[in-house]
Each structure stands twice: as C-alpha cells, then as structure tokens.
Amino acid sequence: MGVRRDSAVGEQGSDGGRESAKAAKGSPSKQPGKRAAAGKDAPAKTAAPSGRGSASGKRTASPARKTAPAAKKAASAKKAAASGKKATPAKKSAASGKKAAPTAESSTPAKKVAPIKKAPPPRKQLVAPKKATAAVKAAPAETVVEPAGDESRTALVRRARRINRELAEVYPYAHPELDFENPFQLVVATVLSAQTTDLRVNQTTPALFAKYPTPEDLAAANPEEVEEILRPTGFFRAKTKSVIGLSKALTEDFGGEVPGRLEDLVKLPGVGRKTAFVVLGNAFGRPGITVDTHFQRLVRRWRWTGETDPDKIEAAVGALFPKSDWTDLSHHVIWHGRRICHARKPACGACPIAALCPAYGEGETDPEKAEKLLKYEKGGLPGQRLNPPQAYLDAGGRPAPPLGAG
C-alpha cells in the first residue's frame, strides 16, 4: 500500500516536473520583447533547475520583469547614440558649407570686377549718338541763320549791304507798285492788296476812289455797292468791311486824316505793321521795313536770318542796315523777288547778285533759259502800275493796262 502512494506521488511529481518545465518554456514565449531587450542575462537566470516546480518558475519570471525598464533605457540610449552618429554628417555638411562659403565669396569679386570694367563703355556709346543726333538736328537751323561757311557777324553785315547796293543799281527806279495820290488812297490800296497782286488792286481802285474820294464818303457808303467794286480783288466782303471800318475810324478819331504814327495806324481795321510801314515810308517819308511774302523768302535764301515770324524778320534785318535805308531796301528786295528770284523757279542764271547768294543753284542756272523766266520790265513786259513814275518809264518800263483791257 505504501508503495503505491509513493509511486503515485512520484508520478505526480514527475508530471508536475514536466508541467513546470513546460511552464518555464512557455513563459519566455509570452514576453519575447523583454528577453530580446534584456540580452544575455535573461537565459542565465532562466537556466535554474526545474525540479522544484512552479515556484521556481515564478521566481525566474520576476527578474525578467525587472530587467524590462533597463532594456528600455538601453534601447533609448542606443537610439540616442544612433541619432548622434547620424547628426555628425549634418555637422560635417555644415562645416563643409563653411569651408565652401569662402570659395563663393572669392568668386563674387571676379564677377563684380568684370561688369564694372565693361559697363561704362556701352553707356558712353549709347549717350554719344544722342548728342550727335541733337547736333545734327540743330545744324540746319544754324546754317539758315548764318551764311555758308563760318561767316562772322561783320562779314554778314558787309555782304547784306553789298547786296542792297547791287540791287539799287539794278532797280534805280524801284518804288511802291501801288497807284496812289494821297495817304488815304495808299492805306486803302495796301489793305486791298492782301491775297492778290498789286496789278489787280491798281485796276480796281480807280473806280472806288472815283465814287468815294474821301474817308467820309467811304465811311457812309453802301456795303453792297463797295463789295461789287472790290469783287475782282478777292475776299471782297472782308475787304469791304475793313475799308469802310478804317474810313469811319479816320473820320471819327483822326478828323478824316491818316495818322503819321505807327501806334495809331495799327489801330485801324485791317491795318498791320506791314501796311503801316508802307504808308509811313511812302506817304510820310518815315523809314520802315515792309515784310511781305517776297521779302521773307529772299532774306532766308540770302541767310540774313532764319526767322519765320514777320516781326522777328523785321527786327533781324533792320539790325543789318542803317534806319535810313529801310524803305528803299524793302523796295529793292521786293522788286528782285517779283522779277528774278521767284518762289518756285528762281532765274539764278540771270541774277546780278549770284556771286553773293548762298542759295545759288536752287533755280535755273543756264543764262538763256533763265532769261525766259524774267518778269515785268526785265522780261520786256508791262509793269503793275497804271500810272508809274517817270523814272520807271525812262528806264524802259511800261505801264499796266487798265481792268478789262487785256
């Protein structure tokens, strides 16, 4: 009986031993991470004899649990060490960046130096053409004002006065080409000469002055009747208004007399500086320069001035001559412009002052062809006045035919 109990116990013990072994083997499988984290110490503690059963298994499990925080600490330390090792390349790259920086800085001065040396030349080249073009544009204006070459002011004055002397010999009979007997007729005829020829005015005024001989008569005239008389001169309505208006002003403000002062004349309707100087110079003997279309054209061709405004031309040309020469100078220039130095085709080949003219060659230079371009007495043709001065007739001039005579 006793033996059976012992065997039973032994069998139980052996079974229990097996179970405990199994438990010992099963406990590590449940916590693989802890053993892997614990390293080599965990197998040494779990290698205790299995004969004592489950109690020993319980004791062996507790050290594994205690070693888990240490394993975690070791893992974190390894990770930190790994991160430290990985960070070293960044430090190296930073160090390499610091070392590379001087190379970049050393390269920049070379880039800066090259543009500084090359930049000024293109800027100078761009500015120079602008200055050159400005000078080229300004040159024509200067050449118009000054004669060909570098003519001084003194040389210009001498040349201008010599031209006037030459023209005085060519046109000794030069005179105003409007027929008149008194200042009133002259001022009316000069107003009517706008936008037409002196010939047409001279053919029209006889009928006008025959019907209205005084300012009082013309001031009281019927405008329609005056318009009919002035129709051949063109712009007859405007001209009728002007001559009637100036006649009223003479009657009311000046006692029916034409004033002999420039400031009074220019106040009359239709009277400007040109008309006033014609009246002052030829009716009162007071010097004045008449700047008409012919005068403007010729003084620019001769390069006496480059101005285009009549008042400025008057001032510029007047500075070249004594005041006593102004009236005759106007006649000489205007006569030459009407007979030889035409607007479209000047007769350069027949010009008596060709050697003094900077514009020689703009017209016909062949003498025979140029002679065919001459007008009035220079071309053997009648003049513009119906009643010219005797000096003109003595020089071979012919009077103009009356209106409607051909």
**What is the rounded distance in angstroms from the CA atom of residue 128 to the CA atom of residue 120?**
12
Instruction: To the nearest 10°, report the CA torsion of 344, 348, 354, 356.
Output: 20
- Catalytic residue, chosen from 267, 292, 369, 375, is 292
If you search the block for the tokens 């050697």, which residue do you land on? 355
Residue 274 annotated among the catalytic residues of the structure: yes
**What is the rounded distance in angstroms from the CA atom of residue 229 to the CA atom of residue 240?**
9
Check whether 397 is labelled as a binding-site residue.
no
Kindly list the distances between the CA atom of residue 8 and the CA atoms of 2, 3, 385, in Å, as whole numbers in the listed order: 10, 9, 177
Check whether 351 is labelled as a binding-site residue.
yes
Question: Which residue intervals of 262-321 are DSSP H helices?
Answer: 262-265, 273-283, 293-301, 310-318
CB 194 within 8 A of CB 235: yes
**What is the rounded distance in angstroms from the CA atom of residue 282 to the CA atom of residue 286?**
8
**What is the rounded distance in angstroms from the CA atom of residue 213 to the CA atom of residue 137?**
55
Contacts of 43 (CB under 8 A, 6+ apart): 35
- CA R_g for the chain: 61
If you search the block for the tokens 């930049």, which residue do you land on? 119
What is the helix, strand, coil percentage profile of the chain, to 5? 70, 0, 30
If you search the block for the tokens 């060519």, which residue do you land on? 170
Contacts of 278 (CB under 8 A, 6+ apart): 176, 178, 186, 190, 288, 290
- Catalytic residue, chosen from 274, 325, 328, 378, is 274
DSSP secondary structure, 236-252, as one string: HHHHHHHHHHHHHHHHH
Check whether 80 is labelled as a binding-site residue.
no
**CA-based nearest residue to 298, from 226, 357, 386:** 357
Helix, coil or strand: residue 176: coil
Residue 91 annotated among the catalytic residues of the structure: no
Check whether 341 is labelled as a binding-site residue.
yes
What is the length of the chain? Answer: 406
Report residue 210 as tokens: 């025959």
Q: What amino acid positions are annotated as catalytic residues? A: 274, 292
Show binding-site residues for [4Fe-4S] cluster.
341, 348, 351, 357
Show binding-site residues.
341, 348, 351, 357
